[in-house]
Amino acid sequence: MGGSYYYTRNHPNVKEGNFLLPDKPSAAQFLLQKGLTAPFLAQNSERGQMTIMNTILTIVVLRNHYLYENTSRCRIGPNGANYNADGTCFYN
């Protein structure tokens, strides 16, 4: 959750992928969503299901970090382009 908050706040082109949250959620929105869903899932899951969910969550966290590091930081312009021919940002 902390990583998602940091990534969405510190990168112009990274957005939250969770359909329950807006593109750039606040810390309170993250906490509320986790506070409501995590206890429900934990109380209603068996050990094997928790292992699968934790494995998927680990993969999601690693993918989020990859996207944060590798997504262009250039703002996307009206026609979709964001790079000059020399590789510098077209829109800042």
Residue pLDDT, tens place only, 20-54: 999 999 999 999 998 999 898 889 999 999 999 99
pLDDT at position 79 over 80: no
Q: What is the signed CA dihedral for 51, 19, 38, 7, rounded to 10 degrees? A: 80
pTM, two decimals, is: 0.75
Contact predicate 24/32, CB 8 Å? no
Mean of all residue pLDDT scores within the chain: 87
Q: Which residues of 38-75 are buried (b: 16+ CB within 10 A; e: fewer)?
A: eeeeeeeeeeeeeeeeeeeeeeeeeebeeebeeeeebe
Across the strands, what pairs with 89? 83
